[in-house]
Amino acid sequence: MTARSRLWLRATRAPGLLLGFAVALCVVAESTAFAEKFPSHPIRIIVPFEPGGSTDVIAHLIADRLATTLGQHLVVENHPGGDAGAVGLKVAADAAPDGYTLLFGSPSPLAIGPTIYPHADYDPAKRFAPVALIATSPQVLVVNPHLPAKSVHDFVAYAKANPGKIKFASPGFGTEPHLLGELLKATAGINIVHVPYKASTRAIADLAAGHVQMLFDGPAVIAPQIAAGRLRALAVASEARTPLIAEVPTMIESGFGRFIANYWAAVAAPSGTPDKIVGRLNAAINDALRTSDVQAALAKLGADAKIGSPQDAATFIAAESAKWAVVAKAAGVKAAGVTPTGLIADP
């Protein structure tokens, strides 16, 4: 008697086992059929920041292309609020794990938040399943053009001569630009004051107006300001110069060792989303990223398309989390014992 025959014989002698076996087969069949017809209605993409920032701009670009690839409309929803994009994270994490609600995340919510809020029940690795890494771009150090600094060396010298007088902006506490400002403060030994905003667009506007003097941000949103002369770029935090502003040196060239920090965007789904749906979304995103028009559009934003598997995205995000934990420790950024309203709690 074969193993399959013995299993069937035992099942017929145990009605409960037979029923369980049948239910399991039905669940698998239903899940497979659901995945095969996915998507059958519009998908929403949650951006945990206000409109106009790098994450929002790239989210709209990808959503427009995926609408064609998937044959369904994709709606980008902005849910700003809370430190490290906590409000939008919760909206996405609490959604049904069916592939129809996705998070368009970045370093702040997916890699940095858990590091600076160690006592909060806040673990995106448990609440989300990475779908795909979308793109990366270097962070750029920019200043108000009226500041008497045309290089990082000039900036550091001016800051040392004017302790506590330079204000550096960020789109919020716990964001990548915030940690980069703190890291520069610590490594250069300067006294500069952090001014958090609720969005990159507001921080950039105040920098151009002279209300703050410095910030780090991605080229997607500041390149036009640099070209118009409203901001002055001092350095890019990447291994090599970026073609979008090729005349700007790197932080390494400016004497700051391996001061490297890339902005990145990634798509994630609520934990429990079926693997077949995650795979379908990943394939569609990769197809979109392979097109010349999407690559050209990303290049205009100073970003490079990244093509890979869900596991590649998960590995990348885990490495970023480890890196930012080191940066946060070195810069002394930690909201110990603080649990901001809206941070994700495990169910």
Q: Which domains does the chain have, with CATH numbers?
A: 43-136+264-331 (3.40.190.150), 140-245 (3.40.190.10)
In whole angstroms, what is the distance from residue 78 CA to residue 228 CA? 28
Helix (H) or strand (E) holding 342: none
Structure tokens at 147: 């500041």
Q: What's the confidence (pLDDT) of residue 327?
A: 85
- pLDDT score at 121: 55
pTM score over 0.95: no
Which residues, other chains included, contact 288 with Cβ-Cβ below 8 Å and sequence gap of 6+?
62, 65, 66, 69, 294
Q: Are 73 and 53 in contact (CB under 8 A)?
A: no
Q: What is the pLDDT of residue 333?
A: 82
CA 319 – CA 245 distance, rounded (Å): 27
Residues 6 or more apart from 343 whose CB is under 8 A from it?
A: 82, 83, 84, 86, 89, 90, 113, 117, 120, 121, 122
| DSSP structural state of residue 168 | E
Contact (Cβ atoms closer than 8 angstroms) between residue 232 and residue 151: no
Q: What is the pLDDT of residue 92?
A: 95
pLDDT tens across the length of the chain (347 residues): 544 444 434 544 545 544 444 444 444 444 455 456 899 999 999 999 989 888 999 999 999 999 999 999 999 999 998 777 888 999 999 999 999 999 999 998 899 887 787 555 567 888 999 999 999 999 999 999 999 999 999 999 999 999 999 999 998 888 899 999 999 999 999 999 999 998 888 999 999 999 999 999 988 888 889 999 999 999 999 999 999 899 999 999 999 988 889 999 999 999 999 999 999 999 999 999 999 999 999 999 999 999 999 999 999 999 999 999 888 887 778 764 444 433 443 33
3-state secondary structure of 255: coil
**pLDDT at residue 220 in the model:** 80
Amino acid at 119: H
CB 108 within 8 A of CB 85: yes
Distance, CA of 132 to CA of 68 (rounded, Å): 18
pLDDT value of residue 24: 43
- Report CA 284 to chain centroid distance, whole Å: 19
Whether residue 275 contacts residue 131, with contact meaning beta carbons closer than 8 Å, is answered with no
Helix axes 15-36, 275-290, angle to 10 degrees: 20
Give the count of alpha carbons within 13 A of 344, CB side only.
27
Which segments within the chain are labelled E, that is strand? Answer: 43-47, 74-78, 101-105, 128-138, 140-143, 166-170, 192-196, 214-217, 232-236, 262-270, 304-305
How far is Cα 285 from Cα 172, in angstroms, rounded to an integer?
Answer: 29
